[in-house]
């Protein structure tokens, strides 16, 4: 099994899950902006869409998209702590969070990579902050769905760490900040960040727990 990723991109969430599960895998860190692999070859020869994450399975086939890969890996490993069983209410609650992160938060950052004027930037920042307010209001446990770290938290950790890269303060969101600190101190997260680099994940190096 081989994961193609880009430093601090959303693919980091899949990288974190692989390390949480403990499945042996090979890692290739590509430059998804330039579509280049470490050897200089065109990444699109492997991934025609030119995006990450891309998971190459042992039979040579490929799977893409964060939400799909999270379900696939957790189901294959039987890790119901990371992804509750199929047809359970807890599964749908977790998927609800994943969908919100993907559709409402993750994609909200895209315009900040364009050449936009200040009024448009202000509008984009307002939109992002409104989505962060929703998360802050809905957070009841230390993690998104309660007391247990799940695949949704791995995804949220990456996307909710991006605001620092773009100069967006998380001071108004103490519960989100606490979740980021909690997840950022997990061994799997520290190992993944060390292996691929922080990229846009603007968090300080976590201090290991004693």
Q: Are residues 179 and 105 in the same domain?
A: yes
Answer whether residue 139 shows pLDDT above 70. Answer: yes
Q: Are residues 159 and 120 in the same domain?
A: yes
Q: How confident is the model at residue 203 (pLDDT cuts 50, 70, 90)?
A: low
The domain total for the chain is 2
Q: How confident is the model at residue 84 (pLDDT cuts 50, 70, 90)?
A: very high
Q: Range of 20's domain?
A: 2-77
Q: Are residues 103 and 66 in the same domain?
A: no
Answer whether residue 210 shows pLDDT above 70. Answer: no
Taking the CA atoms of the chain, what radius of gyration do you get in angstroms? 17
Please indicate, yes or no, if residue 139 is contained in any of the structural domains: yes
Q: How confident is the model at residue 132 (pLDDT cuts 50, 70, 90)?
A: very high
CATH number at residue 58: 3.40.30.10
Answer whether residue 208 shows pLDDT above 80. Answer: no
Please indicate, yes or no, if residue 83 is contained in any of the structural domains: no
Q: Which of 30, 54, 77 is the C-terminal boundary of a domain?
A: 77
CA angle 158, 163, 165 (to 5 degrees): 90
CATH number at residue 125: 1.20.1050.10
Q: Are residues 165 and 120 in the same domain?
A: yes
Query: b vs e for 30-61, b when ≥16 Cβ sit within 10 Å of the residue's Cβ?
Result: bebeeeebeeeeebeebbeeebbbbbbeeeee
**pTM score, whole prediction:** 0.94
Q: Are residues 95 and 73 in the same domain?
A: no
Interhelix angle 89-100/66-77, rounded to 10 degrees, is 150
Please indicate, yes or no, if residue 25 is contained in any of the structural domains: yes
Mean of pLDDT values over 18-42: 97
């Amino acid at each position: 099994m081989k994961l193609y990723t880009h430093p601090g991109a959303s693919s980091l969430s899949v990288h974190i899950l692989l390390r949480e599960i403990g499945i042996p895998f090979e890692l290739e860190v590509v430059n998804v902006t330039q579509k280049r692999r470490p050897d200089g070859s065109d990444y699109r020869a492997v991934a025609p869409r030119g995006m990450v994450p891309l998971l190459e399975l042992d039979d040579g086939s490929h799977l893409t998209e964060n939400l799909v890969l999270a379900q696939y890996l957790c189901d294959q490993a039987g890790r119901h702590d990371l992804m509750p069983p199929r047809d359970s209410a807890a599964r749908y609650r977790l998927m609800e969070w994943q969908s919100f992160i993907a559709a409402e938060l993750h994609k909200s950052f895209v315009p900040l990579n364009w050449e936009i004027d200040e009024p448009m930037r202000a509008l984009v920042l307002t939109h992002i902050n409104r989505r962060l307010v929703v998360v802050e209001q809905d957070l009841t446990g230390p993690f998104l769905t309660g007391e247990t770290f799940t695949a949704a938290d791995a995804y949220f950790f990456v996307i909710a760490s991006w605001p620092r890269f773009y100069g967006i303060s998380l001071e108004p969101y103490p519960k989100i900040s606490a979740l980021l600190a909690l997840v950022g101190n997990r061994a799997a997260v520290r190992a993944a960040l060390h292996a691929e680099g922080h990229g846009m994940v603007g968090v300080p190096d976590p201090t290991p727990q004693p």
